[in-house]
């Protein structure tokens, strides 16, 4: 794993030299656009519509369009200078309860590791945060953009999640066609609650798989092997008009799935026991 950023994490007058690592990676299947005639990959070129010529990277500037067709041009140095003295600094401002931070604010996750002499204050901050049960709200400048962030303990690691600013979150009340108060029958409420209880479980991240990616990989492999591919029609989803009937069917389906899963776990345990006995 390669560090993508080096700087310092500060709280109060304590500075901890740290390295930043990406905590996530995209695992989706990546496609390239091809010319259908010859299957050659298409190239993307930056062409100036005024000069009618391709523009090299070193001849590209960044500009803010304040009116249609009118720009304020900024150099890379001017953009970098806007970060001020807080560049390469993760500055902790508050310690809060994580439950107070709604997930809608989170953007991207990173891992923080101590750099050089930062091991002891790193461990100290980690242990204090674990003991207090709090997370740190900080500001960080990444790629010449300052954002708020949350620093929290993740296993033995300090993890940083960049966040949106409050004014970047659209007002939920502006969503069109939101229903107001409606009469809910007690039987419907009880059945919906029973469905929620039947689906109640501990969060297990490994349980959720990207079946779409797996099927794409199987399809690509089959094509590489020269197999004939037949596309099955997508079955129509069963439509249940009556709400109570739909809830009842959902509860029954959930209970049946739990029975099947229980039998599966039971057979695994028996298999393990027989192997242990064989030893």
Q: What is the pLDDT of residue 205?
A: 83
**CB-based contact 32:115 (threshold 8 Å):** no
* Across 16-32, average pLDDT: 90
pLDDT digits 0-9 by tens, 50-77: 999 999 989 999 999 999 999 999 988 8
Q: What pLDDT is recorded for position 271?
A: 57
CATH number of 5-25+85-168: 2.40.290.10
Q: Residue 135's pLDDT is what?
A: 96
| Range among 150-154, 190-194, 217-221, 267-271 with highest mean pLDDT value | 150-154
Q: What is the pLDDT of residue 254?
A: 84
Pick 268 or 211 by higher pLDDT: 211
Say what the pLDDT of residue 137 is. Answer: 96
Confidence of residue 146 (pLDDT cuts 50, 70, 90): confident
Residue among 201, 180, 187 at smallest CA distance from 247: 187
Determine whether 112 is exposed, middle or buried from the number of CB atoms within 10 Å of its CB (0-12, 13-18, 19+). Answer: buried
3-state secondary structure of 243: helix
Q: Which residue in 154, 180, 139, 195 sits closest to 7, CA to CA? A: 139
**Mean pLDDT across the chain, nearest whole number?**
86
Q: Per-domain residue ranges for the chain?
A: 5-25+85-168
The arithmetic mean of pLDDT across residues 105-121, rounded, is: 93
What are the b/e assignments for 46-60, b being 16+ CB within 10 Å? eeeeeeeeeeeeeee
List beta partners, residue 148: 139
Predicted confidence band of residue 115 (pLDDT cuts 50, 70, 90): very high
Helix, strand, coil % (nearest 5) of the chain?
40, 25, 35
Confidence of residue 251 (pLDDT cuts 50, 70, 90): confident
What pLDDT score was predicted for residue 103?
A: 94
Q: How confident is the model at residue 279 (pLDDT cuts 50, 70, 90)?
A: very low
Mean pLDDT of 129-135: 95
Q: Report the predicted TM-score, pTM, of the whole model to 2 decimal places.
A: 0.75
The pLDDT tens digits of the residues spanning 210-226 come to 888 888 888 888 888 88
> Do 127 and 119 form a contact (C-beta atoms < 8 A)?
no
Torsion of CA 84, 89, 95, 98, to 10 degrees: 110
Kindly state the percentage of the chain with pLDDT values over 70. Answer: 89
pLDDT of residue 264: 66
Q: How far apart are CA 17 and CA 183, in angstroms?
A: 58
Burial (0-12, 13-18, 19+ Cβ within 10 Å), 7 = buried
Residue 277 has pLDDT above 80, yes or no: no
**Spatial CA neighbour of 95 closest among 136, 132, 151, 133:** 136
Q: Which of 42-46, 198-202, 264-268 is least confident?
A: 264-268
């Amino acid at each position: 794993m390669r560090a993508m950023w080096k700087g310092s994490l500060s709280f109060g007058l304590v500075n901890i030299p740290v390295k930043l690592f990406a905590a996530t990676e995209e695992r989706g299947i990546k496609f390239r656009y091809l010319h259908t005639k010859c299957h050659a990959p298409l190239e993307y070129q930056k062409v100036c519509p005024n000069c009618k010529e391709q523009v090299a990277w070193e001849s590209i500037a960044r500009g803010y369009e304040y009116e249609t067709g009118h720009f304020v041009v900024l150099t890379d140095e001017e953009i970098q200078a806007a970060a001020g003295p807080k560049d390469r600094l993760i500055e902790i401002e508050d310690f809060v309860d994580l439950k107070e931070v709604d997930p809608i604010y989170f953007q991207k996750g990173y891992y923080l590791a101590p750099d050089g002499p930062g091991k002891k204050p790193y461990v100290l901050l980690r242990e204090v945060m674990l003991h207090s049960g709090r997370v740190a709200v900080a500001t960080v400048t990444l790629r010449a953009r300052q954002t708020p962030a949350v620093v929290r303990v993740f296993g033995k690691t300090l993890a940083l999640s960049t966040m949106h600013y409050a004014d970047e979150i659209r007002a939920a009340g502006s969503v069109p066609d939101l229903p107001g108060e409606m009469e809910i029958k007690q039987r419907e409420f009880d059945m919906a609650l029973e469905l929620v209880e039947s689906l109640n479980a501990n969060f297990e991240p490994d349980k959720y798989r990207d079946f779409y990616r797996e099927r794409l990989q199987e399809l690509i492999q089959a094509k590489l092997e020269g197999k004939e591919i037949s596309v099955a029609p997508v079955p129509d989803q069963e439509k249940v008009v009556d709400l109570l009937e739909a809830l009842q069917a959902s509860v029954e389906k959930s209970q049946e799935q739990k029975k099947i899963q229980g039998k599966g776990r039971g057979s695994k345990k028996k298999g393990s026991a027989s192997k242990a006995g064989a030893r």
